[in-house]
Amino acid sequence: MKKYTIYHNPRCRKSREAIQFLEEAGHSHEVVLYLDGFFTKDILQEVLNNIALKPSEIVRKNESEWKNISNRNSLNETEILELLIKYPRLIERPIVISGNKGVLARPIENLALFLKAN
């Protein structure tokens, strides 16, 4: 059986729903509490490669950390990646990975399609 890794924020309802979805579907999973400083540049870039998204595509743009960055609209992808590491709360969640593939599991339908395809 495949094992899944979920990058999880326990305070996030969508993240909790994704864990519940995995459990109800009978999928084994490992939970990574990424807010605890888990991500390095290399690890986050690998996750992004697995979900085929750029750093700018996983930014939570309504967070105060993002809004407080005066030049946020002129940042390149490398600079955004570095901000995501510095402020992990800016990372959209949940992210679910299996092997070298993954999905931004928001909305939950994305996770259902991912599980069906793998």
Q: What is the CATH number of the domain that holds 24?
A: 3.40.30.10
Q: What is the mean pLDDT of the chain?
A: 95
pLDDT above 70: residue 48: yes
Q: Is 55 exposed, middle or buried (0-12, 13-18, 19+ CB in 10 A)?
A: buried
Range of the domain at 51: 3-117
Backbone region of residue 62 per phi and psi (left: phi > 0; alpha: psi in -120 to 50; beta: other values)? alpha
pLDDT of 1 reads 65
What type of residue is 37? G
pLDDT digits (tens, 9 = 90+) for 59-107: 999 999 999 999 999 999 999 999 999 999 999 999 999 999 999 999 9
**Which residues are tagged catalytic?**
12
